[in-house]
Every structure is written in structure tokens, then in C-alpha cells.
Amino acid sequence: MRWMFGVLSTHVNRVRFMVVSLAVLSTPAMSGGIEELQKFIDHSATGEAQFVQRVYDVSGDLVQESTGSLKFSRPGKFKWHYLKPYEQLLIGDGTYLWVYDPDLLQVTKISLDQALGSSPAALLYGSKDIDSYFGLEALSVTENFSRVRVVPYDENGLFERIEIGLNASTLQTMTLFDYFGQQTVIEFYDFVIPSTFSGDEFEFVVPDGVDVVTQ
């Protein structure tokens, strides 16, 4: 999930998330997408899902595909686990973000406030008070599928905009557009909301022999 956190180093970069700020739009049909996004945020204090992440270059060619799972308990607790093509584990414990690369025997530790900020991860893992970081525009509503465009106010991030797809107030897709024409598309499935986790679900214990890098 390196895309989630634009503040991380090149070693820890895969994406950024989105947001919610209710706006007054011209038609009820267009405002429906924002309402669906608000419902998702309001009713998803905890959840888990599977995902497929695909990265496309400026020509639209697929350059990378990853699969994995996620779990979250807002605010600030989450586990994003890449399983294929290589393993990487990201855990937010409420205070720090831990990025663990088993193949490198290395974990990077970052302040969670620094990592979330105005990143796309704030939608799932941050507090509900995130409208100060993003602008919101409803794009379309087709039957039960709604699309919303999210634009970070912070122009120093990795992504120019994010487009969110929701079905029946459940997050289904995220498409992240960077400043170089590359797109990252994430499809979520098997969403379970709410979810119940053990007390240590979002704790990270540094394995023996693993180097810790603090940023």
C-alpha cells in the first residue's frame, strides 16, 4: 500500500487515499455520489476486504498487479497486507505506521500523523474530520453505482486526483491519477462492515533480525 502515503520515501510509496466534504451540487442525481461516500464513512468504523491493485503507465499498459487484504478500525488503526507478487505488510497502530518488507529484513517506522495527513489513506483510516484536506465533486450515478472525484488541496502530494466508485454505499474502486499520467486502480471485494478484531490485531512486533528505520 505504498501508494497510500505520499509523505513516505521512494522505498515506501504506492499511493494516497481520499476524503469526504459534503458540497451543495446542482442536481440530486449528482449529489447522490457524495451522499453515498458520506454513508460509507459514517458506517464503516471497522471493516475488512480483499483487493486487486493494478498500475498502468501513461500509455495505458499494465505494468504491475498486486493482490492482498486489508483490515481497519478508525481512527488510525489498519493492516494492509500485500501478498502477491511479493509480500509487504503495513500496519497503523494508532501512533505509528510500520512498513515491513520481509524480503529485505527491514521495517520502516513513521509517525502516523505524518503518514496520513492529506493522503488517500485518510478516508479509511483517518477521522471523519477530513474535509479540510480535499475538494469533492460528484461525477455520475448509474443505477446503484456512484462515482466521486476527490482532489487534495495539498499540491505537493503524489496524486493529482482520485476517483472513487461506490455501490450501495460500499467502496468498490479507487483510481489514483498521478502528475505523470500514470494510473493506479484498486478494486475491493468481499467487504465486511462492521468487523470485529482482537485487541492485538493492529499491533506490530519487530521480528528478530529485522532492521528498524525511523523516518
CATH number for the domain that contains residue 25: 2.50.20.10
pLDDT at 50: 97
Q: Does pTM top 0.85 for this prediction? A: no
The residues that bridge with 100 in the sheet, in sequence order, are: 89, 107
Mean pLDDT by 10 residues, the chain (215 residues): 48 34 30 80 90 96 96 90 95 93 96 73 61 80 87 79 91 92 95 94 96 95
In a domain, 207, yes or no: no
Residue bearing cell 513516505: 8
**H or E element at residue 68:** strand 62-73
Question: What pLDDT is attached to residue 44?
Answer: 87
In a domain, 198, yes or no: no
Is 44 among the domain residues? yes
pLDDT the model gives residue 125: 66
What is the pLDDT, as a whole number, of residue 169?
87
Query: Is 208 part of any domain?
Result: no
Number of folded domains in the chain? Answer: 1
Q: Is residue 10 part of a domain?
A: yes
pLDDT value, residue 115: 75
Distance of CA 16 to the CA centre of its chain: 6
Which domain does 180 fall in, by range? Answer: 2-193
- Tell me which DSSP letter residue 207 carries: P
Tell me, yes or no, whether 214 lies in a domain.
Answer: no
